[in-house]
Amino acid sequence: MKAGTKYFIPLVLVILLVIYLTSALGYSDLTADKRYTLSQAALRVLDRVDSTMEVRVYLKGEFPASFRKLAEETRRLLERFRDRNPDLHFEFINPAKEGIIDRLEKQGMIPARITVRRNNRLEQIEIFPWAEIRYRGKTEHVPLMVSVPGAEVEEQVNRSIENLEYAFASAIYRLGLDQKPAIAVLKGHNEWDDAHIAGLLMLLRPYYRLAPFTLDSLKTNPQRTLDQLRQFDMVLIAGPRKAFSDTAKYALDQFILHGGKMLLAVDPVHAYKDTLMTRGKTYALNAELNLTDWLFAYGIRLNPVLVKDLVAAPVVLKTGEVAGNPQLEPFPWYYSPLAQPNARHPIGKNTGKVKLDFASDIDTLKHNPLHKTVILHSSPYTQTVGVPVQINFSEIGTEPDRQSYNDGTKIFGILVEGKFRSAYADRTKPFDADHNENGLSKIAVFADGDILRNDLQKGRPLPLGFDKWSRTQYANGDFMLNTVFYLTDNYGLFALRNKEIHIPLLDKNKVVARGKFWAAVMLAFPALLWLVAGLLYGWWRRKKYAR
């Protein structure tokens, strides 16, 4: 047997074995961050797809390298989805060539406009980082691009790649739902009216069934009322200003212990910005909502104080008039903190600052075994103000004593999860009903009712988080939608937002400083490699045939 044949046959056998194992067992994800491994939540969602699902991705065309990377990662993800479930079919479409740009924009798929350099000229191009999924006569639009305020395009693309699995899996999950989860919007305690929470309701409506719910019938038929309440997946309590009775608290307690979720945005202190804007002053008073004992049982205490924060949204005031036109000027207003979401939790990841008004802070009780996570907090530069107190615009324009803003970081929002124990376990029950002592659930509590309140302009609701005075859009809408998604996520999909993919970014300063050197190296290295290989081959031939 010749020496070449001696080594050739084992090599072929090894290659064939690798090909067989790859096709039979699939690929192995050897990346440190497991970027090519689908989560169990995504696998469960894909397994529910039992008929043809069509995915159209509109990220095709000539565009910068960062977007080509996003398109390639999207293709790889969909290939893994298809490997799991062959009923999923996908294609990439160039909207410009297909002439469907107007249709996409009318359907809400707004293009990203990117400035690129071509032929030494700057040009603006449109890119559609969107996908469309069709299943059983229903359609979901999937945004492939995550907006990160202040970040460069490369960083936004990398964040978007991290978010791809969640974006697609959650859309497929919603398409597979025979019935949307139900949210009860609690009424009867002088909560915000529908006009002032319309911004949030419009965000929730595509994903949930929303219905008002009152607890008035607890007086006549408590068990029936409780049974009706338990038919909802979550209760939303938006800025109540009337005290809760023990009967109402007990009903909500039993709703939680039965597995129901809750989002409570409440003002421990009543102070009204509308009054401040019209009269120049307002009074801050203890709200007296009778929630202290109920929340205390869950390990939460709302403090009846106001938090002033040096990191705050401005208030816009009229400072004069020129030719009949009012002159408006922004001033710092420390009673409107710009709260920071917890970026290490799925709710706050890739989310900008949240605007609050007359916010209080939250304490957590260590003796309580429930798991508590801070999801919204202040800056370290805060000052707490006790109530009652008068607040007026005379504070504006006065330089603050920064030394006095030393109360540290304050908690504005808390997530409580785990096995809840009834707040009425060792107390007299307000009414006779099926009673649970313990139950798994999760609730989110915010010490500011304005976090989910939208402004009105000429009687029409503005988007949640949009400040009509400064014309600034804050992240209240994204943050509140994330919170509701997390509370009602029974598949664990929302945890995918915490998935991190480490894609190293080029240092632009080093590229500029050393780019020419490395370009020359990359041009010369292949030629040098071939030269060395030729010299070694010539030396080997001379040595072999010299005999």
Structural domain includes residue 16: no
Structural domain includes residue 481: yes
Q: Given 133, 152, 176, which residue is the final one in a domain? A: 176
Please state, as a whole number, how many other Cβ atoms lie within 10 Å of the Cβ of residue 249. 20
Are residues 169 and 201 part of one domain? no
Are residues 485 and 371 part of one domain? yes
Are residues 449 and 338 part of one domain? yes
> Is 36:29 a contact under the CB 8 Å cutoff?
yes
Looking at the structure of the chain, the number of domains it has is 2
Structural domain includes residue 455: yes
Q: Given 498, 521, 536, which residue is the final one in a domain? A: 498
Are residues 204 and 172 part of one domain? no
Structural domain includes residue 204: yes
Are residues 224 and 207 part of one domain? yes
CATH at residue 63: 3.40.30.10
- Reading the chain (547 residues) residue by residue, the pLDDT tens digits are 555 555 566 666 777 776 665 555 555 555 555 666 788 888 988 998 999 999 999 998 888 888 899 999 999 999 999 999 999 999 999 998 888 889 998 888 888 877 766 667 777 778 889 999 999 999 999 999 887 666 677 888 888 888 899 899 989 988 888 788 999 999 999 999 999 999 999 999 988 999 999 999 998 899 999 999 999 999 999 999 999 999 999 999 999 999 999 999 999 999 887 778 778 788 999 999 999 999 999 999 999 999 999 999 998 876 666 666 666 778 889 999 999 999 999 899 878 899 999 999 999 988 788 999 999 999 999 999 999 999 987 787 778 889 999 999 999 999 999 999 999 988 889 988 888 889 999 999 999 999 999 999 888 999 999 998 888 899 999 899 999 999 998 777 777 776 666 555 555 556 556 667 777 777 787 888 888 877 887 777 777 776 5
Structural domain includes residue 517: no
Are residues 145 and 89 part of one domain? yes
Are residues 186 and 168 part of one domain? no
Q: Following CA atoms 80, 30, 33, 83 in sequence, which dihedral angle do they give, to the nearest 10 degrees?
A: 10
Specify the DSSP class assigned to residue 191: P
Are residues 155 and 191 part of one domain? no
**Letter string b/e over residues 37-62, b meaning 16 or more CB atoms within 10 A of that residue's CB:** ebbebbeebbeebeeebebbbbbbbe
Structural domain includes residue 490: yes
Are residues 118 and 261 part of one domain? no
Are residues 379 and 487 part of one domain? yes
Are residues 118 and 234 part of one domain? no
Q: How far is CA 547 from CA 478, 536, 542, in A?
A: 80, 18, 9
Cβ-count burial of 180 within 10 angstroms (0-12 exposed, 13-18 middle, 19+ buried)? Answer: middle
CATH at residue 206: 3.40.50
Write out the residue range of the structural domain in which residue 149 sits. Answer: 34-176
Q: Given 141, 176, 211, which residue is the final one in a domain? A: 176
Are residues 269 and 295 part of one domain? yes
